[in-house]
Amino acid sequence: YCVEFRTESLSHHCALETRPYARWMQYLREGHTVCVACQPPAMSTATQRCSGDGHNAHGDKILHWEAIGNSQCQGTWKKIRQLERCSCPLVHSFIFT
């Protein structure tokens, strides 16, 4: 499944990332909608959910995220909705780890 979030805040460290495999961090923006896929092996076998997916988070609950490979690139987002069938666009798409 996938979850759509609206990025509320992010650290300036994301924009400073220059390593080739991590340049995607430069494109994160406050207010943008991002789509995050929950796939094995990030999915718990017991719950069939990914940690941090915002399950039971509704309304204005602010959730925290951190980029893999650059712990200084972090921020907050709000859950918009969960999609049982993933249709994430090629840009602004991420995977839980």
Q: What is the pLDDT of residue 92?
A: 62
Whether pLDDT at 10 is above 90: yes
**Where along the chain do its domains lie?**
2-83
Whether pLDDT at 55 is above 70: yes
DSSP 25: G
Where do the DSSP E strands lie in 1-97?
2-10, 33-37, 63-66, 74-83, 93-95
pTM of the model: 0.81
